Amino acid sequence: MPEVQETKTVKPVKVFCKLPHGIVYTLPGDRTVRLVGMYGDERSDLQVAGMPGRDSVAGHGVTLVDADDWEQIVKDHGKSAAHKNGFVFAAKDDKSGEAQAREQEGARTGFEPYDPSANREDKTTDGTKTGTIEKQ
């Protein structure tokens, strides 16, 4: 008689990721887990570039990840800047995850688009603040 393998059912966890294009983690056995980023995956042809996708919440992409895989990701990458700064996190339920995402909505990841109007020297012909090359 063949042996019956014990299968454990583990509820997947919702993982929130504020990195713009998400991140891919490599797990043992050459498996990968891809987290959706803040721009999301579900986009329509009419959607403006740079706007969040339909599958994002408060500037965070949302991905369902197997609990065992998430545990391995945290074990391998939990000390990375994305995890320590809260840009990648799992929530115990939808409400708390969305609340944490809304709380961090304005946080800067360092991957934001460059704003040339914020720096005056980018508008001058020679790239200096005053528009004239300063002699030293």
Mean pLDDT of 46-70: 74
Tell me whether residue 1 is in a domain: no
Strand, helix or coil at 89? strand
Residue-range definition of the domain harbouring residue 70: 13-109
Do the domain assignments include residue 133?
no
For the whole prediction, is pTM greater than 0.85? no
pLDDT tens per residue across span 72-128: 999 999 999 999 988 999 988 888 888 888 888 888 888 777 776 766 666 666 666
Res 27: pLDDT: 92
Determine the pLDDT at residue 1.
Answer: 47
Q: Flag whether 125 is in a domain.
A: no
Query: Is the pLDDT at 61 greater than 70, yes or no?
Result: yes
* Cβ contact 49:97 at 8 Å: no
Residue 136 forms part of a structural domain = no
CB neighbourhood size of 96 (10 A): 11
Is residue 78 one of the residues assigned to a domain? yes
In a domain, 129, yes or no: no
The CA-based dihedral angle spanning residues 52, 57, 36, 32, taken in that order and rounded to the nearest 10 degrees: 180
Measured between alpha carbons, how far is residue 19 from residues 30, 36, 82, 121 in Å? 23, 9, 8, 28
In a domain, 46, yes or no: yes
Residue 18, both tokens: 């504020």
Count how many domains the chain has: 1
Instruction: Output the six-digit token pair for 53.
Output: 């996708």
Per-residue model confidence as pLDDT tens digits over 7-23: 555 688 999 999 888 89
